Amino acid sequence: MSFHVVIAAVSVVLQLGSFFPYFRDIARGTTKPHAFSWLVWGVLNVITFAAQITHGGGPGAWRTAFTGALLISVFIASLRGGERNIARADWISLAAAAVAMILWRLTNDALTAVLLVTATDVIGSFPTFRKSFHKPFDETALTFALSGFSFLLSIFALDQLSLITAFFPAAITLLDFALVAFLLLRRAQMRTPA
């Protein structure tokens, strides 16, 4: 078994493990995912997987495909037990994500697609960050921390390391860690009397 396959398998297992606490917390009602973010993230992972696999991502792309399926599962779960406060900014974020996906389709260039998909993922994160500002205990920080580590590992599992194959997982690693830091900061602020 090659080094890339082993690292990819570890990345996928870590990602699966990261979602156990998330689904558990959704079932308990302590985590309330924002449907818009999870829909955007799921679709974008599927698109990124296609770009990675067609440009030599190899086993490093497995994690992206697997994550796409998990994210769409969270989106489905969020329709029943997710965040119900949908603000105008959330709709704007969803519309911007849709526009970016249309632009990606029109460009038909893999690097442009990856850059647009990454920008769209960041835009799609806005509803979760907005919700987390007000309700930082309604997200499972451990899931995002483990997901960030899993994405980081997936970069080392790529057969071909290029902007097309590595930019998205690198950016999402940073985004996941930023959300964890944001959640922990907001929780600390809410625990500290003003």
Q: What tens digit of pLDDT does each residue of 174-190 get?
A: 999 999 999 999 999 99
Rounded CA separation 52/166 (Å): 8
47 or 73, which is more confident: 73
Cα(113)–Cα(117) distance, integer angstroms: 6
Instruction: Provide mean pLDDT across the span 162-176.
Output: 93
Q: Is the pLDDT of residue 167 over 90?
A: yes
**Tell me: the pLDDT tens digits for 112-145?**
878 888 888 888 888 889 899 999 998 999 999 9
Supply the DSSP string of 123-191, one letter for each residue: HHHHHHHHHHHH-GGGS-HHHHHHHHHHHHHHHHT-SS-SHHHHHHHHHHHHHHHHHHHHHHHHHHHHH
The whole-chain average pLDDT of the chain stands at 86
What span, in angstroms and rounded, lies between the C-alpha atoms of 48 and 39?
14
Query: Which residues, 6 or more positions from 15, have their beta carbon under 8 angstroms from its beta carbon?
Result: 63, 66, 67, 70, 146, 147, 150
pLDDT of residue 187: 95
- Indicate the number of domains in the chain: 1
Q: Which domain holds residue 41?
A: 3-191
Q: What percent of the chain has pLDDT over 90?
A: 31
Q: What is the pLDDT of residues 3-62, one digit of tens each?
A: 888 988 898 898 888 889 989 999 998 988 888 888 888 888 887 888 788 888 888 888
